[in-house]
């Protein structure tokens, strides 16, 4: 495997994958390099199903191994919501402010001990041949703040206080966030199987 497709148009995500794969001599391309590829409808009911849908589509259409992620916020008091609907929780448009407002409204009055939550990230690697896909999952445990705090990050970062911290993800710097994030945890697990993915012995 000397080239891999990362099924994203998000430059930030792509950069993380480049940093992981380049030391192994693997070239990373993204959907930005393949503008003709159609968007994949995320019809799965789990993060894993959606990640696999995107990875398998990219692998099939490009003839290259492909990696995709699906991630979101899981809140215990809301029965696991927003979950796979995290990006569009407040409506079809991806509106971070509206999503955060909806979460806060639904959790009004709940004490800290009932505000447990986690960010979850699932990475799926699919291959153009019949090789079995690889799926790994990472998470970051924490709780939901009572109001938005911080301007770093995006999405639900201003609401999420990671375990061991008294500030939100949006109040951490990039290095601090990347050290504990759900995507970092999933990438770490993927890194563990990289030799196998690259066709080298473990």
Domain ranges, ordered by start, for the chain: 3-197
What are the binding residues? 8-13, 41, 70-71, 154-157, 177, 182-183
Helix, coil or strand: residue 134: strand
Q: What is the pLDDT along the chain (202 residues), one digit of tens a residue?
A: 688 899 988 887 788 888 878 887 888 999 999 988 888 888 899 999 999 999 999 999 999 999 999 999 999 999 999 999 998 999 978 899 999 999 999 999 999 999 999 999 999 999 998 789 999 999 999 999 999 999 988 899 999 999 999 999 999 998 898 889 998 899 889 888 866 665 554 4
CATH of range 3-197; options 3.90.950.10, 1.10.150.20, 3.40.1080.10, 3.40.50.170: 3.90.950.10
Please confirm, yes or no, whether 70 is among the known catalytic residues: yes
**Residues 6 or more apart from 74 whose CB is under 8 A from it?**
80, 81, 83, 117, 118, 119, 120
* Residue 54 near residue 70, CB atoms below 8 Å: yes
Selected catalytic residue, list 70, 76, 93, 129: 70
Is the pTM higher than 0.95? The answer reads no
Quote the pLDDT of residue 123. Answer: 95
* Residue 132 near residue 125, CB atoms below 8 Å: no
Q: What angle do CA 44, 46, 50 make, to 5 degrees?
A: 45
Which of the 8 DSSP states describes residue 21?
H
């Amino acid at each position: 495997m000397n080239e891999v497709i990362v099924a994203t148009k998000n430059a930030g995500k792509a950069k993380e994958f480049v940093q992981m794969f380049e030391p192994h001599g693997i070239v990373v391309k993204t959907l930005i390099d393949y503008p003709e590829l159609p968007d994949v409808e995320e019809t799965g009911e789990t993060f894993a199903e959606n990640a696999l849908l995107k990875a398998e589509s990219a692998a099939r259409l490009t003839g290259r191994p492909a990696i995709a992620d699906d991630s979101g916020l899981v809140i215990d008091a809301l029965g696991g919501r927003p979950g796979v609907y995290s990006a569009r929780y407040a409506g079809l448009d991806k509106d971070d402010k509206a999503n955060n407002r909806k979460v806060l409204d639904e959790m009004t009055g709940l004490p800290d001990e009932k505000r447990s939550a986690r960010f979850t990230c699932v990475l799926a690697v699919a291959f153009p041949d019949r090789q079995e896909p690889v799926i790994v999952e990472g998470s970051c445990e924490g709780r939901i703040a009572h109001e938005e705090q911080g301007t770093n990050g995006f999405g639900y970062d201003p609401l999420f206080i990671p375990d061991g911290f008294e500030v939100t993800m949006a109040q951490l710097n990039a290095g601090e966030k990347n050290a504990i994030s759900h995507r970092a945890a999933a990438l770490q697990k993927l890194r563990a199987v990289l030799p196998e993915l690259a066709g080298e012995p473990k």
